[in-house]
Amino acid sequence: MPTAFEGWDGTPAAARAMQAELASQVRLRDGFRKPLRTVAGFDVGFEDAGRTTRAAAVLLDADSLQVLESRCVRIPTSLPYIPGLLSFRELPALLQVLDALSQTPDLALLDGQGIAHPRGLGVAAHFGLATGVPSIGVAKKILTGSGPEPHDTRGAYTALRHDGRQVGWLLRSKLHCRPLVVSPGHHVAMASAADLVMRWVTTYRLPEPTRLADRLASRRDDR
DNA sequence: GCGACAG
DNA sequence: ATCTTGTCGC
């Protein structure tokens, strides 16, 4: 299993410095195969009062949304949750569950931020950089930045801005529901992110890939 | 110094 | 994230 943080001394300060460095390597240009054939959703949950970390991955056909494969892995939790350092806590399990898939997805959707992060490296961006798999962050809440409320129309979105530049979108994936925070990770253009996510939204607030991964990681089913 | 703070 | 049932409302 490759360590996601080669040379990290374990301190939060070093983690932040590493994020700033890695963020400069993120590429905001569509770098995925077109047309997309597969998309996978990833999420992490915890058991045993947090002592065990569980990561789930669900691979879908990008057009039919048919589930092709579901995987789940468990490893000991290594770090507590620290705002801004989520990837250092969740990436090890996420990389393992990616390896558990029989095929690499053309695109990955992760629960959390892409570049809409204090130093530009949310868990989705870090995952994309570490794996080379194009990624998008689909979060339920803002971590950094702000933007106007999108109209209450399915598919409406507005720009999320931070430090004077756009870092993502506020996307009304479902009528009368709080908008999702969508931000590109690695190898996905800002202009593509929101439309891509809407492609896999059906009748729920979350797009199918992460919604299904959520269910697996959060206890409801297994396998 | 005082809040804010993905999962 | 997680502990937890029913309930009000679009």
pLDDT tens digits for A36-62? 999 999 999 999 999 999 999 999 999
Confirm whether A203 is domain-assigned.
Answer: yes
The predicted-structure confidence for A179-189, as pLDDT tens digits, reads as follows: 999 999 999 99
The predicted-structure confidence for A66-81, as pLDDT tens digits, reads as follows: 999 999 999 999 999 9
Residue A39 pLDDT: 98
Does A152 carry a binding-site annotation?
no
* Cβ partners under 8 Å of residue A28, min gap 6: A115, A184, A188, A189, A190
Confirm whether A149 is domain-assigned.
Answer: yes
CATH code (residue A197): 3.30.2170.10
How far is Cα A28 from Cα A92, in angstroms, rounded to an integer? 24
Å: A215 CA to B1 C1': 42
Å: A90 CA to B7 C1': 9
Confirm whether A14 is domain-assigned.
Answer: no
Does A43 carry a binding-site annotation?
yes
Domain that holds residue A98: 38-217
Confirm whether A31 is domain-assigned.
Answer: no
Å: A23 CA to C5 C1': 44
Confirm whether A29 is domain-assigned.
Answer: no
Confirm whether A17 is domain-assigned.
Answer: no
Number of structural domains chain A divides into: 1
Q: Is the CB of A218 under 7 A from strand C?
A: yes
